């Protein structure tokens, strides 16, 4: 892709009629989802993990000019703890909190990493269902803190992602159905065997661990606010949704930090896995069924997390869907670097928000509906890098190492 020319692709947009008014507090609008204390505790723990460092917030000025907006800031999570995705700060943090609660007393991060409680933690098993990145985070956290993990994947998860999770010592179980079926299989086996589910979605009687996951995601937003240029406001956030934990954490963090000045949250989904879009239209959690065979496998979820939805229903300015082609174009856009922009490796599920922005900004009706103009300052959460390098190369036409090498050459 030498000349940057965005294709005309279809998108559905639903402006949320239930958006809370600016003067309403998060505690009043969506109580018990996320809170400042939970975000602060997660940040303190995660920043003490070996290898922690903030991921970069990259300025895409060339792309902003091409799309007719003032600024685009891209939070590049591809290097997070070497796992390649933002999920590292969610699932692994929930594993930590579970072990601390299970062991009791004043069990520290340092003690667990040092193996002080290994005689007890080796008898503890955590499990989860995943499209890839969340399972890798749980498996990595289990290895880091000294317990056993069992990870459930569905038929749409690539072999490359399966091997990447197994590399952290997890026992892998593949379910011949979709993501939501793997969630149910995981919950059933956990109840039978006395394991602890570490999920990023909620159901009746299961809320606290997904809250830990969302609080862990808040680390990203704390970094973003520290990395923004002085007096740099954000008017819009385009963020992709699977079950909803990521956009809920983003929206909740910004609501707490910026209150009435919070930006417009646009939740983006694949058109073939649009449970948030359908839930927004119906005004209640609404499942979508079938194979959910989107290329954006990490977003192939048919049911919203009820807890996350209770916040997104009040915090989201709009919901939109994009076709798979939009994600591939966004990946190529990042790899090329428009107008001298840094060259970035973005995975197919991680670029959903950027895909939504490109489609919306180049369509007159969508642009007007989302109130995008020359003064708009956009935040994009680039939630993964090339978590499946083989698939990335097939889609982009370049290996991730080549893209990174081209970026390094530009910065020398």
What pLDDT is stored for residue 332 in this prediction? 97
**Pairwise CA distance, residues 269 & 286, whole Å:** 14
**Pairwise CA distance, residues 88 & 132, whole Å:** 11
For CA atoms 309, 375, 55, 221, the dihedral sign is negative
In the chain, % helix, strand, coil (3-state, to 5) comes to 50, 15, 35
pLDDT, one tens digit per residue, over 19-69 is: 999 999 999 999 999 999 999 999 999 999 999 999 999 999 999 999 999
**Pairwise CA distance, residues 150 & 196, whole Å:** 10
Which tokens belong to 214? Answer: 């969302």
Q: Which residues pair with 266 in a beta bridge?
A: 238, 318
- The set of residues, in sequence order, having a beta carbon less than 8 Å from that of 190 and lying 6+ positions away, is 127, 196, 197
> Average pLDDT, whole number, for the chain?
94
Q: Which residues pair with 151 in a beta bridge?
A: 128, 172
**Pairwise CA distance, residues 134 & 125, whole Å:** 16
Q: Which residues pair with 378 in a beta bridge?
A: 72, 236
> If you classify domain 91-199 with CATH, what class do you get?
alpha beta
In this structure, are residues 114 and 225 in contact, taking their beta carbons and an 8 Å threshold? no
Delimit the CATH 3.40.50.1100 region(s) of the chain.
12-86+209-411, 91-199
Which tokens belong to 240? Answer: 């992709």
The count of other CB atoms within 10 Å of the CB of residue 321 is: 24
For residue 180, the surrounding DSSP H or E stretch is: helix 179-193
**Catalytic site positions:** 87, 131
pLDDT confidence band for 157 (50 / 70 / 90): confident
Least confident of 78-87, 187-196, 249-258, 321-330: 78-87
- The set of residues, in sequence order, having a beta carbon less than 8 Å from that of 17 and lying 6+ positions away, is none
pLDDT, one tens digit per residue, over 378-396 is: 999 999 999 889 999 999 9
Q: What value does the mean pLDDT take over residues 57-82?
A: 97
What pLDDT is stored for residue 42 in this prediction? 97
Specify the higher pLDDT residue, 76 or 182: 76
**Pairwise CA distance, residues 83 & 384, whole Å:** 9
**Pairwise CA distance, residues 397 & 12, whole Å:** 28
What pLDDT is stored for residue 409 in this prediction? 65
pLDDT, one tens digit per residue, over 185-209 is: 999 999 999 999 999 888 889 999 9
**Pairwise CA distance, residues 164 & 82, whole Å:** 12
What pLDDT is stored for residue 1 in this prediction? 52
Which segments within 155-216 are labelled E, that is strand? 171-175, 196-197
- Three-class secondary structure of residue 144 per DSSP: helix
- For domain 12-86+209-411, which architecture applies? 3-Layer(aba) Sandwich (3.40)
Q: Model's pTM, two decimal places? A: 0.94
In this structure, are residues 107 and 142 in contact, taking their beta carbons and an 8 Å threshold? no
């Amino acid at each position: 892709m030498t000349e940057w020319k965005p294709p005309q692709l279809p998108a559905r947009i639903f402006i949320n009629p239930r958006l809370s008014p600016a003067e309403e507090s998060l505690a009043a609008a969506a109580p018990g989802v996320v809170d400042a204390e939970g975000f602060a505790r997660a940040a303190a723990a995660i920043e003490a993990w070996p290898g922690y460092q903030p991921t970069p917030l990259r300025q895409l000025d060339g792309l902003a000019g091409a799309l007719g907006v003032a600024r685009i800031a891209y939070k590049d999570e591809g290097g997070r703890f070497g796992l390649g995705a933002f999920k590292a700060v969610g699932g692994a943090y929930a594993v930590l909190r579970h072990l601390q609660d299970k062991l009791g007393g004043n069990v520290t991060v340092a003690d667990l990493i040092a193996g002080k409680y290994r005689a007890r933690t080796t008898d503890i098993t955590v499990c989860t269902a995943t499209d890839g990145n969340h399972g890798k985070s749980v498996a990595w956290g289990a290895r880091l803190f000294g317990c056993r993990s069992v990870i459930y994947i569905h038929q749409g998860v690539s072999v490359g992602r399966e091997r990447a999770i197994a590399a952290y010592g997890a026992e892998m179980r593949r379910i011949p159905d979709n993501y939501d079926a793997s969630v149910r299989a995981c919950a059933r086996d956990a109840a039978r065997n006395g394991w602890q589910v570490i999920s990023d979605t909620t159901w009746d009687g299961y809320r606290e661990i997904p809250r830990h996951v969302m609080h862990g995601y808040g680390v990203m937003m704390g970094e973003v606010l520290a990395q923004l240029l002085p007096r740099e406001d954000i008017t819009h956030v385009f963020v992709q949704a699977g079950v909803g934990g990521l956009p809920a954490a983003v929206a909740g963090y910004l609501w707490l930090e910026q209150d009435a000045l919070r930006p417009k949250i646009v939740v983006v989904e694949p058109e073939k896995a649009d449970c948030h879009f359908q839930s927004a239209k119906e005004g209640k959690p609404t499942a979508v069924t079938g194979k959910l065979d989107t290329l954006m496998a990490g977003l192939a979820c048919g049911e919203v997390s009820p807890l996350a939805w209770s916040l997104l229903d009040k915090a989201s300015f709009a919901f939109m869907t994009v076709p798979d082609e939009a994600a591939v174009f966004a990946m190529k856009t990042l790899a090329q670097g428009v107008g001298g922009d840094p060259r970035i490796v973005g995975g197919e599920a991680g670029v959903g928000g950027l895909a939504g922005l490109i489609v919306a900004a180049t369509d007159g009706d969508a642009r007007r509906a989302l109130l995008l103009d020359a003064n708009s300052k956009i935040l994009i959460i680039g939630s993964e890098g090339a978590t499946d390098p083989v698939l990335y190369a097939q889609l982009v036409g370049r290996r991730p190492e080549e893209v990174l090498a081209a970026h390094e050459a530009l910065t020398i």
